[in-house]
């Protein structure tokens, strides 16, 4: 069970919200939206991994402390939500170091988990996985092993937990899981996909798999958020459809299935049988 901690206006590649200097004019909704999630997890006895933007940790530290105090695991989700494909290797390295420093400074523990904005570790940016290892990251959840708007990694050979190796180092990888739909691999376990699909389909697909990597954002459960300017009709539909029923749908999902944070998943998985991907 994982959540990407970002504000409701942190949509990728949208001109009206693409830079941090534009964010000051937007209503902050993260604290209330995150609290809603934490209450549900507390009632269900579930611990999750929360991937936090460094900018969020700097500007909303009380939210991050609240997550940590509730016993959840903290990872990083970049500094300001920039796609790795838009960064040089040096820029990514500095972004990662800065983000980890900000989050670990609030939690008092080293950051061990990472997720890229937009799942932007793609064939052209696999060098980022080596940079994660050098920073001391133990597990990554950035691989989207099929096509998507921001790239995806359709050539990645598995959609199950695996091991990444490079330069004598290793990283546990938890890619998004997929399901076959008309001979295409599709994702169903988070974000807009979770909101768009009827619950019974999600339930069936979850039952059919041995591994599910969920990923949600606080905005996925906020029907009160405003409409962002500049969205195409299709993107508007994908970003706002299903918000009213999504929290109830999540409550139903976690009442029927057992979820753990990534740290616990590392302990539970039999890594002797895992696929090894070498960079």
State both tokens at 69: 């105090």
Can you give the C-alpha Rg of the chain in angstroms? 18
For 134-189, the DSSP string reads HHT--EE-----SEETTEE-TT-S-SS-EEEEETTEEEEE-PPP-EEETTEEE--S
The tens-digit pLDDT sequence of the chain (279 residues) is: 999 999 999 988 788 888 888 898 899 999 999 999 999 999 999 999 999 999 999 999 999 999 999 999 999 999 999 999 999 999 999 999 999 999 999 999 999 999 999 999 999 999 999 999 999 999 999 999 998 877 799 999 999 999 999 999 999 999 999 998 777 788 899 988 899 999 999 999 999 988 999 999 999 999 999 999 888 998 899 899 999 999 999 999 999 999 999 999 999 999 999 999 999
pLDDT of residue 40: 97
CATH architecture of 2-278: Alpha-Beta Barrel (3.20)
- Full-model pTM: 0.95
Alpha-carbon gap, residue 107 to 279, rounded angstroms: 32
pLDDT of residue 21: 86
Give 216's DSSP letter.
Answer: B
Assess contact for 112 and 263: CB atoms under 8 A. Answer: yes
Alpha-carbon gap, residue 151 to 146, rounded angstroms: 9
Neighbouring residues of 77: CB distance < 8 A, sequence distance ≥ 6: 4, 5, 6, 51, 52, 53, 99, 114, 115, 116, 117
- Pairing type for strands 49-52 and 113-114 reads unpaired
């Amino acid at each position: 069970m994982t959540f990407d901690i970002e504000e409701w206006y942190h949509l990728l590649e949208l001109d009206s919200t693409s830079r941090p200097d534009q964010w000051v004019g937007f209503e902050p909704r993260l604290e209330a939206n995150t609290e809603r999630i934490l209450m549900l997890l507390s009632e269900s006895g579930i611990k999750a991994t929360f991937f936090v933007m460094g900018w969020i940790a700097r500007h909303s530290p009380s939210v991050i402390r609240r997550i940590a105090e509730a016993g959840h695991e903290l990872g990083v989700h970049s500094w300001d939500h920039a796609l790795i494909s838009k960064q040089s290797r040096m820029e990514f390295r500095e972004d990662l170091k800065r983000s980890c420093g900000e989050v670990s400074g609030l939690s008092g523990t080293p950051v061990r988990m990472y997720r890229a904005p937009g799942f932007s570790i793609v064939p052209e940016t696999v060098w980022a996985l080596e940079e994660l290892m050098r920073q001391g990251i133990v597990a990554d959840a950035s691989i989207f092993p099929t096509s998507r708007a921001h790239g995806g990694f359709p050539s990645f050979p598995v959609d199950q937990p695996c091991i990444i190796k490079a330069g004598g180092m290793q990283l546990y990888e938890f890619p998004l899981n997929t399901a076959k739909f008309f001979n295409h691999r599709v994702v169903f376990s988070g974000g807009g996909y979770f909101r768009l699909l009827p619950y019974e389909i999600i339930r069936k697909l979850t039952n059919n798999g041995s591994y599910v990597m969920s990923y949600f954002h606080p905005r996925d459960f906020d029907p009160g958020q405003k409409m962002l300017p500049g969205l195409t009709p299709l993107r508007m539909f994908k970003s706002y459809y299903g918000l009213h029923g999504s929290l109830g749908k999540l409550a139903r999902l976690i009442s029927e299935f057992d979820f753990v944070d990534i740290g616990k998943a590392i302990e539970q998985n039999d890594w002797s049988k895992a696929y090894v991907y070498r960079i």
